[in-house]
Amino acid sequence: MAKKTVFMSLSTDIIYGAHIELIRRAAELGELTVGVLSDEVVASYKRYPLLSCQERMRIVAGIKGVKEVIRQDEMSYREPLRRLRPDYLVHGDDWRTGFQQPVREECLALLAEYGGELVEYPYSYNEEYDRLEAAARAQISVPDRRRGRLKWLIENKGMVVCMQAHTGLTGLIVEKAALMENGTVRQFDAMWVSSLCDSTTKGKPDIELVDMTSRFRTIDDIMEVTTKPIIFDGDTGGLAEHFGYTVRTLERMGVSMVIIEDKTGLKKNSLFGTEVAQTQADVEDFCHKIRVGKSAQRTHDFMIVARIESLILEKGMEDALARARAYVEAGADGIMIHSRRKEPDEIFEFIRRFREEDQKTAVVLVPTSYNAVYEEEFQKRGVNVIIYANHLLRSSYPAMQKTAETILRCHRAKEADEAFCMPIKEILTLIPEEY
């Protein structure tokens, strides 16, 4: 009789006793193939792996009982189960609840298609593994490891999606937000530290009033409790001579990207457009600022992106494209094109014409106004970074306002607690414990 075949999947880069035992028991059922989840998949639902997929595959291949190792490019088991049709699928029983439950249900349906069987073993909790996992998270938070992750994600995923964070708590929300969709986990790839949000939370106007020391403190607060890459809103970048020092500081802190806009004088928020007096920077002056920043840079990981305000200020498409060419020539790693129109037509035209000339330079969008376009449409057109620039701040304000008004109206907190407030214990579960 033909020997039974077995399949199981691994994502971890910390192999400990329970993993070895699970592999041993799986191998006792038959010839064992192990799917090792790709770096992109692992990063999408847990932490960024310390060891690459290739290294993890080599480690697993050396474990006794493993006959074959394959790369698994999706959280879903669809591809390996339909291709290998194993007699047994082995997994710990910890996926019966939580975000992996839909994956388990899909596996049961796939196994039923040909008569395969799911074999689950009790999940083995281990305090030592938790300690090692916490240490690994601390390791990937180190600036030198964190800084280059955004460029890696852009190169490997094609497009990354970022959410605004302006405090340690909002950083934790961005860090942990995840949902299962069509057999894959969706979450944010990076965080955007916005000048507007930094200013607004302090009750100040968005005119570069909050100094860099205060803004760097916001980065510190977020970095202390999270691991995802950070993109920094650098406003105009200030004086060219000052911008070089800003780049050095951000790079040393572990920030991955800074975006500076080509305006001069008293900076006003772009969404005001021509309603307020705003002056666009001279092209050569802004190119000089980019060159100063790139000269100050000490690693290849850090990225400087030039934000073009031509469409905001109604200077026209040709001006926007000419500036894009000049800024790329000056050394910009990416171009952010901004628009306040609700329809994306001018954005799509800019991307089309820019990509006809330049397939390499990253394109960044902040679709605050033209918010009806799906991310997949942007990616298809050649966009590399999507930033949701102020949504956590904007959604928190009405919730807090309603809570305050409800307490005033009711002369007590009961109604506000029931309608708007989550239990304090649920908030506290976001806060990481000491290592």
- In this structure, which amino acid lies at residue 53? C
Question: Which residue carries 């510190």 as its tokens?
Answer: 220
- 67: Cα separation from own chain's centroid: 35
Q: What distance in Å separates the CA atoms of residue 208 and residue 389, rounded to the nearest whole number?
A: 17
- 92 - beta bridge partners? 121
DSSP bridge partners of 259: 233, 305
**Which of 370, 392, 431, 430 is CA-nearest to residue 163?**
392
- Which conformational region is residue 182 in: left (phi greater than 0), alpha (psi within -120 to 50 degrees), or beta? left
Amino acid residing at 45: Y
Q: How many residues does the chain have?
A: 435
Please report which helix (H) or strand (E) contains residue 388, including its range. Answer: strand 385-388
In angstroms, the CA 223 to CA 261 distance is 24
Q: For residue 358, how many other CB atoms are within 10 A of its CB?
A: 15
For residues 196, 368, 222, 41, the Cα torsion angle rounded to the nearest 10 degrees is -170
Q: Cβ distance 382 to 363 under 8 Å?
A: yes
Query: Which residue in the block uniquely carries the two structure tokens 């910890």?
Result: 94
Give the pair of three-digit tokens for residue 144: 């030198």
Catalytic residue list: 206
DSSP-assigned letter for residue 189? -
